[in-house]
Amino acid sequence: MGPLDELATHEKGDHTEAVVISELKRRGVSVCAPFGDNDRYDLIAESAESLFRLQVKTGWLREVVVEFSGQSQHVNAAGNTYKPYEDDVDFFVVYCHELDSMYLVAEDAFDTG
């Protein structure tokens, strides 16, 4: 059991986002974050050609595969609700704590998992 295993889900997500921002900046990528938490994406990254909407996800290692959820989860009076991102983001940036690795996955490269 690692130190991140003890963190609540949102704390682990915050840590993942901080690691991703730090790594993107280390690589010279300009990064912006939207104000508030009402947008479907977490970050905007700038390349020489364009701006990209990024959704940061925490991945987990299952045997030899890094998995992550390609949908958002919200809690309301009815319980957990899930919504796919569809065209709301351009890429997922998946960080796997166990491997200390980051992966860029196109939004349309898979369904929801």
Which is it for strands 51-62 and 91-96: parallel, antiparallel or unpaired?
Answer: parallel
pLDDT tens per residue, range 57-102: 999 999 999 999 887 776 777 777 777 778 889 999 999 999 999 9
The per-residue pLDDT of the chain, averaged, comes to: 86
Q: For residue 3, what pLDDT is reported?
A: 55
pLDDT at 7 exceeding the cut of 80: no
Domain 3-109 has CATH 3.40.1350.10: yes
Domain ranges of the chain: 3-109
